[in-house]
A and B are shown apart, each in its own frame.
Chain A
């Protein structure tokens, strides 16, 4: 495969597409598929054939605004239809060449205008199971450019120059990580993609792996070239069967085209990727635990250093990045580091994909330049809180993150600003809560999650989260005292300071951030035995004896 051959493929796809007068793209992502997108597509195919019009029906990955699904976009006019049922297929096919179907059309301009699509540039435009579709949109061009025109150091330099930071949540500078692995000695190195999206309420990585799998593969191949690795692993949750099957297809296609395997593109570079299935353990998102899981063991973390960059899989230098980080690589190599550097805020460059969910009008997947204000995401892109309710807080970062109160909506979304506000960027879950959510109850939900997911290796996390849960449950049931609250804060500090890995170190964040901004809710529960949002069941709290505080090691 050479650049010329790649361009040849792209041209032939364009020629093939030019045979059609219309392209009808049907979103087949989980949210749309669960609302009958499959039947809709079958109906469209059947009716298009019968109509005699030259129509290409394409199944695509997530288009974004899932709450308006099933979505259909008709090109070249770019008409977007929302909530389309199989019964509407007739109207859509009939409208081709005529006026669009007014009653299905949706006006989501506001939703899309503030977004900048880098990672999701192909979402809704390609069939994820066709490598040629990806190639026709500049796919694998970056890999070939890197292999033929750049040195490995040059690639690392470009990534460093772009200012890209890890999209898994930590925000470690990607270029720096790559440089460390590249410098590590050893002839066998590994590249690992973390697709264990365990954070509940986040599905960005699933959508990328399902909707544009080649983008992840290309990013990993470029990374492997840059750091000198010959073998890669994609670690995917078993709960994402579609992602696994799309990636399997994509890997097979890439091998067939000579974009993976031995001597890629007539160079001496060899690289291949294997898929490894996760088995339902949140802690495996932690890098050392993930590596243990790939090695077939229990996913328990190890103290660092040594960092995986020096001693990772089977003791070899290993580069681990998140799905979205790899998805950013090809555009950076193609367009240059400066291009990426010019997007975003001062210390957080580029764009970030968020899964916008909870009490908001337009739920779904969005991609925004970093530095964007929270209110722009909530009010403009998300369309505000529905049902006349009042926004209370935004939760970012999942169980490791925190809640940002409604009066801080002027905050710019960046790694540092979110950290300063007591939350974290996290992998990109953004859950909107309104006045029907009790913040104490939410904190308890997250602590319960961390308690169940704690691997049990270190005591602060194993016993600490369990005790935190006991205290929070007591408060939620109206049996909490002010002593409990004091103890809770003390415990949070201990767990945060002394846990072995990120799971324990960040487990207190939901508690500390809600205590910081919503202390009055805790006090209401304790002093007045009242849940302001009416979520917690306080029955029996009144006659209960004052609780005896027991703390066990």
Chain B
């Protein structure tokens, strides 16, 4: 059997080299699919068709299977994130302490549903299943920074700060 040559990188973008690096480290093994998708998402912010196709071809995984994996796991996103991301934790402890009201309030303020991004791609509103900061419930994560015991005023103030940037 002829040696397998992976397909060329989709573009000059240096980030593809990082993606290829992850696959090479895993010997282009099929089981590296999730690892590679993680690298794509952390490099590009989301997974688009080109990326999924490139990874599937490189790892010799059927495209349908790769797409199946991407859509199965909540962590993978097919849409580019906004400039800022507001994640509200919807774990049990946060729920008991009223995270549902925070989510409703943020949705009303931004005019989008959770999981969506505002029209001018400024702010993405997300919910998380639990970030493990339950002792400080309710919790919000603003661009990766965890804040606990959040009040509605604090959350709205943060959203407004982003809006005027």
Residues of A within 8 A of B (CB): 30-31, 33-35, 66-67, 197-203, 206-207, 238-240, 276-282, 293-299, 355-359, 363-365, 395, 398, 429, 431, 433, 437, 442, 445-446, 449, 455
A295-B31, A296-B33 known; A431-B92 Cβ under 8 A? yes
* A445 engages B92 (CB within 8 Å): yes
List residues of chain A with CB within 8 A of the CB of B133: 30-31, 34, 203
A296-B69, A358-B97 known; A201-B75 Cβ under 8 A? no
Interface residues of B in 126-154 (CB under 8 A from A): 128-137, 139, 145-148
A297-B69, A299-B72, A431-B96 known; A357-B130 Cβ under 8 A? no
* B132 engages A239 (CB within 8 Å): yes
* B130 engages A279 (CB within 8 Å): no
26 contacts between A and B (CB under 8 A): A30-B131, A30-B132, A31-B135, A31-B148, A34-B145, A197-B132, A200-B92, A201-B91, A203-B132, A239-B128, A277-B34, A277-B38, A279-B38, A281-B72, A296-B61, A297-B33, A297-B69, A355-B135, A357-B92, A357-B93, A358-B137, A359-B96, A363-B135, A395-B92, A429-B92, A445-B95
* B32 engages A296 (CB within 8 Å): yes
* B148 engages A34 (CB within 8 Å): yes
Residue with the highest number of chain A CB atoms closer than 10 Å, among B31, B95, B135, B139: B135
Interface residues of B in 43-101 (CB under 8 A from A): 61, 65, 68-69, 72-76, 90-93, 95-97
How many pairs of A and B residues are in contact by the CB < 8 Å rule? 140
CB distance from A463 to the nearest CB of B (A): 18
Given contacts A197-B132, A238-B75, A281-B73, 18 further A-B contacts (CB under 8 A): A34-B139, A34-B145, A198-B130, A200-B92, A201-B134, A239-B75, A239-B130, A277-B35, A279-B38, A296-B29, A296-B32, A298-B73, A299-B73, A358-B93, A363-B135, A365-B135, A437-B96, A442-B96
CB distance from A18 to the nearest CB of B (A): 34
In the bound complex, what is the Cα–Cα distance between A277 and B32 (angstroms)? 11
List residues of chain A with CB within 8 A of the CB of B146: 30, 33-34
* B132 engages A206 (CB within 8 Å): yes
Indicate whether B109 reaches chain A with its CB closer than 8 angstroms.
Answer: no
A31-B135, A276-B35, A363-B135 known; A200-B73 Cβ under 8 A? no
In the bound complex, what is the Cα–Cα distance between A299 and B71 (angstroms)? 11
CB distance from B85 to the nearest CB of A (A): 14
* A31 engages B76 (CB within 8 Å): no
State the 9 A-B residue pairs at the shortest beta-carbon distance, nearest first.
A200-B91, A279-B73, A66-B135, A201-B92, A203-B132, A280-B74, A280-B75, A200-B130, A363-B135
Number of interface residues of B (CB under 8 A): 40
Indicate whether B119 reaches chain A with its CB closer than 8 angstroms.
Answer: no
Residues of B within 8 A of A (CB): 29-35, 37-38, 61, 65, 68-69, 72-76, 90-93, 95-97, 128-137, 139, 145-148
Residue with the highest number of chain B CB atoms closer than 10 Å, among A239, A356, A364, A445: A239
In the bound complex, what is the Cα–Cα distance between A365 and B93 (angstroms)? 14
In the bound complex, what is the Cα–Cα distance between A279 and B97 (angstroms)? 26
In the bound complex, what is the Cα–Cα distance between A297 and B30 (angstroms)? 9
* A279 engages B74 (CB within 8 Å): yes
A296-B30, A358-B96 known; A66-B136 Cβ under 8 A? yes
* A281 engages B74 (CB within 8 Å): yes
CB distance from B35 to the nearest CB of A (A): 7
A201-B134, A203-B134 known; A296-B31 Cβ under 8 A? yes
In the bound complex, what is the Cα–Cα distance between A67 and B134 (angstroms)? 10
A279-B73, A398-B92 known; A198-B129 Cβ under 8 A? yes
In the bound complex, what is the Cα–Cα distance between A445 and B75 (angstroms)? 21
Residue with the highest number of chain A CB atoms closer than 10 Å, among B34, B61, B134: B134
A279-B74, A296-B31, A357-B137 known; A240-B132 Cβ under 8 A? yes
* A357 engages B135 (CB within 8 Å): yes
Find A293's partner among B30, B34, B95, B137 (CB 8 Å cutoff). Answer: B34
List residues of chain A with CB within 8 A of the CB of B33: 296-297
CB distance from A315 to the nearest CB of B (A): 13
List residues of chain B with CB within 8 A of the CB of A431: 92-93, 96, 134
A34-B148, A299-B72 known; A201-B135 Cβ under 8 A? no
List residues of chain A with CB within 8 A of the CB of B131: 30, 239
In the bound complex, what is the Cα–Cα distance between A30 and B147 (angstroms)? 10
* A31 engages B136 (CB within 8 Å): yes
List residues of chain B with CB within 8 A of the CB of A357: 92-93, 134-135, 137
In the bound complex, what is the Cα–Cα distance between A295 and B72 (angstroms)? 15
A239-B128, A355-B135, A398-B92 known; A294-B72 Cβ under 8 A? no
Q: Which B-chain residue is minimally distant from A66 (CB atoms)?
A: B135
List residues of chain B with CB within 8 A of the CB of A449: 129
In the bound complex, what is the Cα–Cα distance between A384 and B126 (angstroms)? 33
List residues of chain A with CB within 8 A of the CB of B73: 278-281, 298-299
List residues of chain B with CB within 8 A of the CB of A282: 129
List residues of chain A with CB within 8 A of the CB of B31: 294-296
List residues of chain B with CB within 8 A of the CB of A293: 34
Find A355's partner among B61, B74, B129, B134 (CB 8 Å cutoff). Answer: B134
In the bound complex, what is the Cα–Cα distance between A364 and B129 (angstroms)? 19
Q: Which B-chain residue is minimally distant from A64 (CB atoms)?
A: B135
In the bound complex, what is the Cα–Cα distance between A35 and B136 (angstroms)? 10
Residue with the highest number of chain A CB atoms closer than 10 Å, among B75, B92, B145, B147: B92
List residues of chain B with CB within 8 A of the CB of A238: 38, 75
List residues of chain B with CB within 8 A of the CB of A199: 130
* B148 engages A35 (CB within 8 Å): yes
In the bound complex, what is the Cα–Cα distance between A67 and B93 (angstroms)? 13
List residues of chain B with CB within 8 A of the CB of A297: 33, 65, 69
Find A67's partner among B75, B95, B135 (CB 8 Å cutoff). Answer: B135
List residues of chain A with CB within 8 A of the CB of B147: 34
List residues of chain B with CB within 8 A of the CB of A35: 136, 148
Q: Which A-chain residue is minimally distant from B100 (CB atoms)?
A: A445
Q: Which B-chain residue is minimally distant from A297 (CB atoms)?
A: B69
Q: Which B-chain residue is minimally distant from A445 (CB atoms)?
A: B95
In the bound complex, what is the Cα–Cα distance between A349 and B64 (angstroms)? 47
List residues of chain A with CB within 8 A of the CB of B137: 357-358, 363
